[in-house]
A and B are shown apart, each in its own frame.
Chain A
Amino acid sequence: AQSVTQPDIHITVSEGASLELRCNYSYGATPYLFWYVQSPGQGLQLLLKYFSGDTLVQGIKGFEAEFKRSQSSFNLRKPSVHWSDAAEYFCAVGASNFGNEKLTFGTGTRLTIIP
């Protein structure tokens, strides 16, 4: 079974600073990887996903993530954060084998932006 760890419960970043949110996964084969964002009072919105190919994935709102198989990681980055990026971010892993078609979510990282 797959699992996801987001080591940082809460991160505070100054507006305009760079951001990196960590995600580590456990899965025996090549995983499908996702980052979702949840703004206050809202549902989850997909930021980006990785299935195969280029390990650097571009997403919406200026976010990108890099799949590193050797480190079992899929960290999310943004070069310059905006106040509107304050939200909770969830990494998720999906199995690539049929018969186990489920997403497993991490516990989330809450991002606070300070002026």
Chain B
Amino acid sequence: DADVTQTPRNRITKTGKRIMLECSQTKGHDRMYWYRQDPGLGLRLIYYSFDVKDINKGEISDGYSVSRQAQAKFSLSLESAIPNQTALYFCATSDFSGVSTDTQYFGPGTRLTVL
């Protein structure tokens, strides 16, 4: 089984709908991240969490919210989806190994289309 899973893998929705993307991990890592990938823009950080009680905004958090339900679960919500949120969304995890920024392990991604 994959260490980092994302559900759903694909989703088509309409403008104004509320959408939740879910991420689960079995790696036992404390740190979890949500990114979006757009062609030509690379990956941009939306939110990150270093433990269940710690949530931080990334560079593009507007229009998104997150919930860290447990160490292993980190959900991303789009409260009212808009077409420019059409993108590939990735969840990632990392362990705290004593350095500030260590290897991140990525899920397979969720392709979201907002019509």
Q: List residues of B (81-114) whose CB comes within 8 Å of A's CBs.
A: 90, 92, 99-109
A51 partner residues in chain B, CB cutoff 8 A: 99
B64 at the A interface (CB under 8 A):
no
Contact: A107 with B50, CB < 8 Å? no
Contact: B40 with A102, CB < 8 Å? no
> In the docked arrangement, what's the CA distance between A99 and B50, Å?
11
Contact: A94 with B100, CB < 8 Å? yes
> In the docked arrangement, what's the CA distance between A45 and B106, Å?
7
Of the A-B pairs whose beta carbons lie under 8 Å apart in the complex, a sample of 18, sorted by A's number, is: A32-B100, A32-B101, A36-B106, A42-B108, A42-B109, A44-B43, A44-B90, A44-B92, A90-B42, A95-B100, A95-B101, A96-B99, A96-B101, A100-B100, A102-B48, A102-B58, A105-B42, A107-B42
